[in-house]
Amino acid sequence: MMTRQTAEGAARAAGRPRSEKAEKSIIEATLELIGEGVAVSELSIEGIAARAGVGKTTIYRRWSNKEDLVVDALTTLKPPIPPLRGDSVRDDLVAYLSVMRDEARHTHTRCIMNIAMSDSERHPRLAARFDELAIQPRRAVMMEVLRRGIERGELRPDLDVEMAMAILSGAMLWYTKWSHRATALPDDLAERIVDEALRGFRPR
């Protein structure tokens, strides 16, 4: 799964070892640029090298192309915080959507989202990695919350969990995507979405 070019395992490294600091700088610079809204196609190795204070050579020695570098950079992104479990489905869902909402506020996250969404046609490997790192874990958390709600009887037993997730996350996605032109997001957006959605999710 390693996309880098190191042959770590073999002989016991003769000369000067590779600078771990340089590596960090490169990846950090890449993420910074992406965070500032630079699209993958606009990313330049030269730009990254300059920002990282590193020679181009140092980059080419480790990654053979831009996409490999971006993939590795994305890999270092930790799924920040899946919300801890509360006592009710409502609380958990509100917490979860609040995180989504807060992430959408920050340009950094928004740009990364953009890359994931728009470059998916062009860079399938990138999209796959992002899916694996960012989408799936959150998906899993939310599915678990919903499933627990069904077990506890807070939600209809016949509720389509996938659909419920689409409705909840989709509504938040809709707000964060389309309305930041017009009005700012209301503070209680997460609560309002959850309360409206739960109307149909609860047992009759």
Partner DNA sequence: GCATTATGAAACGCGACGGTTGCGTATCGA
Partner DNA sequence: TCGATACGCAACCGTCGCGTTTCATAATGC
Cβ contacts of 42 within 8 Å, gap of 6 or more: none
Considering beta carbons, is residue 46 or 196 the nearer one to a copy of itself?
196
Least distance (Å) between residue 58 CB and DNA: 3
Window 9 to 38, contacts with a copy of itself (CB under 8 A):
37
Q: How many residues bind a copy of itself (CB under 8 A)?
A: 43
60 binds, among a copy of itself, DNA, none (CB under 5 to 8 A by kind): DNA
Considering beta carbons, is residue 58 or 120 the nearer one to a copy of itself?
120
> Which of 142, 96, 107 minimizes the C-alpha distance to 34?
107
- What region does 153 belong to: left with phi over 0, alpha with psi -120 to 50, or beta? left
Task: Give the gyration radius of the chain's Cα atoms.
Answer: 21
Task: Tell me if 198 contacts a copy of itself by CB under 8 A.
Answer: yes
161 binds, among DNA, a copy of itself, none (CB under 5 to 8 A by kind): none
Size (the chain), residues: 204
User: Tokens at residue 22, please?
Assistant: 């340089």
Cβ burial, residue 18 (10 Å; 0-12/13-18/19+): middle
Determine the straight-line distance between the first and last CA of the chain, rounded to whole angstroms.
48
Least distance (Å) between residue 34 CB and a copy of itself: 12
Least distance (Å) between residue 6 CB and DNA: 8
168 touches 141 (CB < 8 A):
no
Stretch that binds DNA, among 13-21, 109-117, 121-129, 148-156 (CB under 7 A): 13-21
171 touches 197 (CB < 8 A):
yes
Least distance (Å) between residue 200 CB and a copy of itself: 3
Cβ contacts of 116 within 8 Å, gap of 6 or more: 126, 127, 130, 131, 134, 135
12 binds, among a copy of itself, DNA, none (CB under 5 to 8 A by kind): DNA
Residues that bind DNA (CB under 7 A): 12-19, 22-23, 25, 43-47, 53-58, 60-61, 65-66
Residues that bind a copy of itself (CB under 8 A): 37, 39, 41-42, 107, 110-111, 114-115, 117-122, 127-128, 131, 135, 160, 163-167, 169-175, 177-178, 181, 192-193, 196-201
